[in-house]
């Protein structure tokens, strides 16, 4: 899904353009709003932006300044100037910078939407134009010409001094600096058919790694270590300055790579990204953690998991529970036994033993509550009661859950059609809870989907299917419902109510309020 940033110091222009695009193309784009050049810069520093539609004449950071920063940070981002001025500003012409297109505001919003379509087409052509080069480069990965041995030693825990490691980098002509930390991520390929040979999996993996390497190397220094037939471990450093957050760059490029990649019914890929930079002497630990965080998930789409290596244990616990226990009709008995074993091992490593035990029990109880369709079943009721009793114990082991939980799993497996729905419902519920806690903030589709660890496109689709409303409309409905309560029960000014529920403009708030209630906020209060 392409991400669009709307920028103008006139909030009504941004809000109206946002409404127009979302009404014409619901769930087609992830759209962000910025009411100043400074706000836009913060977005550009924290995530990938594909298309920027911006005014030129703004206080402090103007459109020209913004374009300069974009060219340095996201060179393939398409910038569209949307302005009231008939002529280019002299300062813009002097820079010799190029925007994608120059539009006049009085020409209407339809031109903006057409320009977005043109920009998307160009972005896709750029990606596919690089595909043939990547296909040729994939042979290099298969032939073993890359200096894998050094990185294999590093991942096995071999210790080098900074000088020794830098000498190895120079000898092998690798673009890394041993004095600076490194960013790590891991890609894993899952055979969905169970029929792919070792050679087929490895060829497929190397082809994907080559294409992603070509994408990443345009902005960072990168080396993909091929680990067997199904995984690639990446070493990444910024190629210009250590001050830039390389994780943001990698995250943005990876999202774009996944959104443009042709999906395969034969296999899927998953990624785990460590958001912390790591000293070279600790990359072996990162490799162990990332490799163990992978659980062959039961999601229908590719997934990116982001984790902080300081709390990876809790993330791993959450992931195992969400992929196995919330979809009993899909997981096998062996997979569930393995999951119990992994959870037990993680609990032995945690410093917050009691807290994480409670986390597991609470998650399982939430899962059981989702089975209300079966609450008349003796099996369901007995299982729920058994888990509830365990909640009160301080020294239970996960294996004590096995007998009672397995009875419930087997019962639900007979109703396999409900299993995927239940899993999706769990994700939707998590998203709704996140929205309920953060509606007053400028949250986007990406923010919400990342919270539940789902691909934005996949999340958008299942949300619409389950709720009958798209994500943007749901967020606005929540905001309007809260606003109605404030209007009825407080003496807050309408402008303050608008700000309280997450609207930067009282005019835009009134328009949205009217759309959902049929009247304006003032009339509603009276």
- 289 and 150 inside one domain: yes
Is the model's pLDDT at 255 over the cut of 90? Answer: no
Do the domain assignments include residue 321? Answer: no
Task: Count CA within 13 A, CB hemisphere, residue 338.
Answer: 12
Q: Residue 24 has which token pair?
A: 């014409």
Angle (CA) 91 14 107, round 5°: 70
CA pair distance 367, 273, nearest whole angstrom: 27
Residue the block writes with tokens 């990698």: 250
Q: What is the CATH number of the domain that holds 194?
A: 3.30.70
Identify the domain boundary among 126, 157, 177.
126
Tokens of residue 363, six digits:
């998650």
Are 163 and 54 in a shared domain?
Answer: no
Which of 141-145, 190-194, 370-374, 403-407 has maximum average pLDDT?
190-194
Do residues 290 and 165 share a domain? yes
pLDDT tens-digit series, residues 344-358: 766 666 666 666 666
CA distances from 465 to 329, 409, 473, 481, 488 (A): 20, 25, 14, 22, 33
Percent of the chain with pLDDT over 70: 65
| Count of structural domains, the chain | 3
Look up residue 465 and give its two tokens. 């299917």
Instruction: Note whether residue 304 is domain-resident.
Output: no
Would 323 be classed as within a structural domain?
no
Residues 221-238: pLDDT tens digits? 888 888 766 888 989 988
Confidence (pLDDT) at 250: 83
Count Cβ atoms below 10 Å from residue 38 Cβ, excluding itself: 13
Task: Please say which residue of 294, 318, 339 terminates a domain.
Answer: 294
Asked if 107 and 150 sit in the same domain, the reply is no
Q: Are 150 and 290 part of one and the same domain? A: yes
My answer on whether 279 and 212 are in the same domain is yes
Distance CA 356, CA 346 (A): 9
In a domain, 300, yes or no: no
d(CA 138, CA 205): 9
Residue 308 has pLDDT above 80, yes or no: no
**Is 245 contained in some domain?**
yes
Region 187-194 average pLDDT: 83
* 194 lies in some domain: yes
Q: Between residues 264 and 503, which one has the greater pLDDT?
A: 503
Q: Is 420 part of a structural domain of the chain?
A: no
CATH number of residue 512's parent domain: 1.10.10.60
Model pLDDT for residues 15-71, shown as the tens digit of each residue: 888 888 988 887 778 888 888 888 888 888 777 788 999 988 888 888 888 888 887
Condensed to tens digits (0 to 9), the pLDDT of residues 98-109 reads 778 888 887 778
- Domain stop point among 61, 91, 126: 126
Mean pLDDT of all residues in the chain? 75
- Please state the rounded mean pLDDT for residues 197-220: 82
- The fraction of the chain above a pLDDT of 90, given in percent, is 7
- What is the domain-level CATH number for residue 18? 3.40.50.2300
* DSSP H/E element including 305: strand 303-307
Give the residue among 12, 2, 13 at the shortest CA–CA distance from 103.
13
Residue 470 lies in a domain: yes
- The region of weakest confidence among 24-38, 73-87, 364-378, 453-467 is 364-378
Domain match, 115 and 165 both: no
Residue 105's domain comprises 3-126
Phi, psi of 29 (to 5 degrees): -135, 155
pTM of the model: 0.48
Using one digit for the tens of pLDDT, what is the confidence trace for 95-134? 456 778 888 887 778 888 889 988 888 887 665 554 444 4
Tell me: do 219 and 268 sit in the same domain. Answer: yes
Q: What is the DSSP string of 125-176?
A: HHHHHHHHHHHHHHHHHHHT-S-HHHHHHHHTT----HHHHHHHHHHTT---
Same structural domain for residues 83 and 202?
no
Distances (CA, A) of 360 to 243, 325, 345, 355, 356: 39, 10, 13, 9, 6
Q: Please tell me whether residues 215 and 112 are part of one structural domain.
A: no
Residues 7 and 97 both lie in one domain: yes
User: With b meaning 16 or more CB within 10 Å and e meaning fewer, what string describes 268-286?
Assistant: bbbbbbbbbbbebbbbbeb
Does 81 lie in the same domain as 165?
no
């Amino acid at each position: 899904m392409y991400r669009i940033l709307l920028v103008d110091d006139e909030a009504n222009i941004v809000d109206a353009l946002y409404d127009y695009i979302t009404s014409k193309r619901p769930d087609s784009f992830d759209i962000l709003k910025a009411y100043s050049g400074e706000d836009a810069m913060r977005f550009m520093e924290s995530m990938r932006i594909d298309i920027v539609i911006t005014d030129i004449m703004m206080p402090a950071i103007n459109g020209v300044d913004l374009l300069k920063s974009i060219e340095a940070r996201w060179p393939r981002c398409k910038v569209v100037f949307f302005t009231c001025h008939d002529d280019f500003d002299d300062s813009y012409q002097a820079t010799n910078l190029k925007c994608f297109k120059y539009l006049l505001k009085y020409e209407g919003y339809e031109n903006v939407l057409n320009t977005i379509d043109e920009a998307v087409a160009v972005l896709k052509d750029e990606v596919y134009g690089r595909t043939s080069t990547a296909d040729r480069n994939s042979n290099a990965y298969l032939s073993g010409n890359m200096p894998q041995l050094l990185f294999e030693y590093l991942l096995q825990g071999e210790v080098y001094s900074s000088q020794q490691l830098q000498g190895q980098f120079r000898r092998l002509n690798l673009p890394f600096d041993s004095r600076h930390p490194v960013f790590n991520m891991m890609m894993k390929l899952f055979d969905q058919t169970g029929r792919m040979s070792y050679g087929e999996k490895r060829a497929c993996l190397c082809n994907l790694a080559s294409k992603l390497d070509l994408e990443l190397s345009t902005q960072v220094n990168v080396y993909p270590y091929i680990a067997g037939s199904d995984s690639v471990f990446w070493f990444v450093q910024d190629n210009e300055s250590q001050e830039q957050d390389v994780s943001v760059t990698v995250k943005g490029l990876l999202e774009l790579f996944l959104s443009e990649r042709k999906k395969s019914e034969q296999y899927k890929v998953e990624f785990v990204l460590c958001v912390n930079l790591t000293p070279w002497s600790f990359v072996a630990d990162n490799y162990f953690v990332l490799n163990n965080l992978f659980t062959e998930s039961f999601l229908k789409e590719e997934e990116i998991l982001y984790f902080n290596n300081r709390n990876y244990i809790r993330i791993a616990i959450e992931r195992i529970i969400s992929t196995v226990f919330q979809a009993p009709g899909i997981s096998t008995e062996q997979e569930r036994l393995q999951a119990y074993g992994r959870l037990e091992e993680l609990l032995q490593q945690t410093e917050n033993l009691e807290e994480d035990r409670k986390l597991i029990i609470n998650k399982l109880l939430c899962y059981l509550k989702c089975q209300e369709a079966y609450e008349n079943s003796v099996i369901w009721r007995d299982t729920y009661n058994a888990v509830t009793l365990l909640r009160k114990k301080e020294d239970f082991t996960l294996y004590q859950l096995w007998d009672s939980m397995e009875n419930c799993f087997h019962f639900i497996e007979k109703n396999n059609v409900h299993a995927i729905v239940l899993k999706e419902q769990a994700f939707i519920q998590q998203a709704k809870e996140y929205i309920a806690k953060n509606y007053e903030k400028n949250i986007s589709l990406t923010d919400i989907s990342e919270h539940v660890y789902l691909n934005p496109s996949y999340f958008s689709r299942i949300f619409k299917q389950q709720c009958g409303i798209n994500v943007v409309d749901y967020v606005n409905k929540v905001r309007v419902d809260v606003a109605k309560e404030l209007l009825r029960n407080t003496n807050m000014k309408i402008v303050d109510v608008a700000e309280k529920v997450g609207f930067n403009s009282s005019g835009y708030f009134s328009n949205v309020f009217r759309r959902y209630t049929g009247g304006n906020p003032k009339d509603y209060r009276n």
